[in-house]
Amino acid sequence: MENQDLSRLRIESDQRWAQRGAKRRRRRLWLAVPAVVLVSVIAYLAWHGYLVPAVDVQTAKVSLTYPSRPLTTLNASGYVVAQRKAAVSSKATGRLEKLYVEEGKRVKTGDVLGVLENADLKATLEEAQAALKVAHAALRNAEAELHDATLNLNRQKSLRESGAVSVQAFDTAEARYKKALASETSARFGVNRVEASIKVAEVNLEYSYIRAPFDGVILTKNADVGEVVAPFGASTNSKAAVATMADMDSIMVEVDVAESSLEKAKVGDAAEIRLDAYPADRFPGTVHMIVPTADRSKATVLTKVKFDRLDPKVLPEMSAKVAFLSRPLKEDEHKPFLGISAACLKQKNGVYSALKVNKDHVKSATVEVGRKWNDTFEILSGLKEGDVVVLSSAKDLKEGRRVNVKE
């Protein structure tokens, strides 16, 4: 009986010890799990650099650029301006009877743009032309009379020398000759006078025609048929200009260059023109003129840049930007390339590399470079458009380091 009791006590004691051990193991397990998690988190943070303060860095973006950009020494803004432009008006006051202009029409020198009412001027010219015929007939009659008087005078002179005619007959023949000579002279001057009146009538008639003063394009139409036009708007309620036109071969870009930067722009220097209307197009140009006077209020000097090749889509008054270049572009330098500043690259043993920002960490990338324009390299491989690269001025920066990009 006693042995059974002892066995029962021993079993109960073992069970209590087993229960206590299980509780201890469970307690240790609960303590170990957070420790493992904590160690894992610390290892993760350490691996990704989160336990080290982020480094402030300056960056540049890989982008498509033109060779002209690294060659640019100065930028300026302005407008396309036709150097030869005219507000075409009539030389006489009158009502506009015909109009042959419309915006965008190309015209040649002397083309008729409009006609004023001119029936009275045509009648005056026809009257003068008829008067000229009468004057020519009178001249022919006077010439015939002079010829007859000359023959008679010569005949009377011969007879007078031989004593066959009286002095009175000779004097009569001489007087007739002088009268015929005066009539012929008067008739000749009469012809000249009528011819002059014809020229006046022709000029007055020509004034009724409004003609293009040079080859160009009509920019605006300022009058319509039936309206009264006058030279320089001389009369009340009249239009001064029938149309405005410009010589498209004379267009240039006029920009204001700051006095402090004027030394960077010289006549004959290469330039590149960009138009807001066509942002994808680049037009080669040359500095044509630096106007020899400054604008005191703006401290600028007007500079004119001409197009090396004219393009019909370039129109007057378009907004433009001009890049003044350190040298002319070559034939193969007019297309964009993938470029990055040389300050973003490091070279070691002839191999170029860059630190590319990936979210908030940097990663090293081997870069193959091509041509170089001043401080810009052409990227052949290793980087793509839009990549953000750390400037090489950042010291002791290694791959995987967390960075803070400065704006």
Give the range among 82-91, 176-185, 300-309, 375-384 with minimum mean pLDDT.
375-384
State the Cα–Cα distance between residues 177 and 186, nearest whole angstrom. Answer: 14
pLDDT tens string 271-327 = 999 999 999 899 999 999 999 999 999 999 999 999 999 999 999 999 999 999 999
Element (H, E) at 82: strand 72-82
With b for 16 or more beta-carbon neighbours within 10 A and e for fewer, the 336-375 pattern comes to ebbbbbbebbeeeeeebbbbbbeeebbeebebebeeebee
Please give the backbone phi and psi of residue 250, each rounded to the nearest 5 degrees, phi first. Answer: -105, 5
**Mean pLDDT in residue range 95-110:** 93
DSSP 382: S
State the Cα–Cα distance between residues 142 and 135, nearest whole angstrom. Answer: 10
State the Cα–Cα distance between residues 200 and 212, nearest whole angstrom. Answer: 22
Q: Which of 244, 234, 245, 243 is nearest to 94 (CA)?
A: 234
- Asked if residue 389 lies in contact with residue 60, where contact means CB atoms within 8 angstroms, the answer is yes
pLDDT tens string 150-177 = 998 888 888 877 777 777 888 888 898 8
Q: Which of 236, 253, 256 is nearest to 76 (CA)?
A: 256
Per-residue tokens: 303: 């500079």
**Mean pLDDT in residue range 198-222:** 94
pLDDT tens string 353-366 = 888 887 777 788 88
State the Cα–Cα distance between residues 403 and 11, nearest whole angstrom. Answer: 65
The CATH superfamily of 71-83+247-325 is: Efflux pump adaptor protein, beta barrel domain (2.40.30.170)
pLDDT tens string 179-195 = 989 999 999 999 999 99
Identify the pLDDT of residue 392. Answer: 66
Average pLDDT for the chain: 83
pLDDT tens string 26-48 = 665 555 556 555 555 555 444 45
Topology given in CATH for the domain delimited by 86-116+208-246: OB fold (Dihydrolipoamide Acetyltransferase, E2P) (2.40.50)
State the Cα–Cα distance between residues 130 and 140, nearest whole angstrom. Answer: 16
Identify the pLDDT of residue 70. Answer: 85
Residue written as token pair 């020899």: 292
Q: Among positive and negative, which fits the CA dihedral 288, 289, 290, 295?
A: negative
- Asked if residue 339 lies in contact with residue 377, where contact means CB atoms within 8 angstroms, the answer is yes
Identify the pLDDT of residue 6. Answer: 47
Identify the pLDDT of residue 52. Answer: 55
**Mean pLDDT in residue range 121-141:** 94
281 Ramachandran zone, left/alpha/beta (phi>0; psi -120 to 50): beta
Q: Which of 153, 178, 176 is nearest to 165 (CA)?
A: 153
Q: At what angle do helices 119-162 and 167-206 cross, to 10 degrees?
A: 160
Kindly report the pTM of this predicted structure: 0.66
Identify the pLDDT of residue 352. Answer: 87
Write the CATH number of the domain with boundaries 119-206: 1.10.287.470
Q: Which are the contacts of 281, defined by CB distance < 8 A and separation ≥ 6?
A: 274, 275, 311
Give the range among 10-19, 273-282, 294-303, 382-391 with minimum mean pLDDT.
10-19
- Asked if residue 401 lies in contact with residue 49, where contact means CB atoms within 8 angstroms, the answer is yes
State the Cα–Cα distance between residues 279 and 64, nearest whole angstrom. Answer: 14
Identify the pLDDT of residue 37. Answer: 55
For the chain, percent of residues with pLDDT exceeding 70: 80
Task: List C-alpha distances in Å: 160 to 17, 168, 179.
Answer: 188, 10, 20
Topology given in CATH for the domain delimited by 55-66+336-405: 2.40.420
Residue 7 has pLDDT above 60, yes or no: no
Residues of the chain by 3-state class (helix, strand, coil), percent to 5: 35, 35, 30
Q: Which are the contacts of 81, defined by CB distance < 8 A and separation ≥ 6?
A: 251, 252, 253, 254, 316, 317
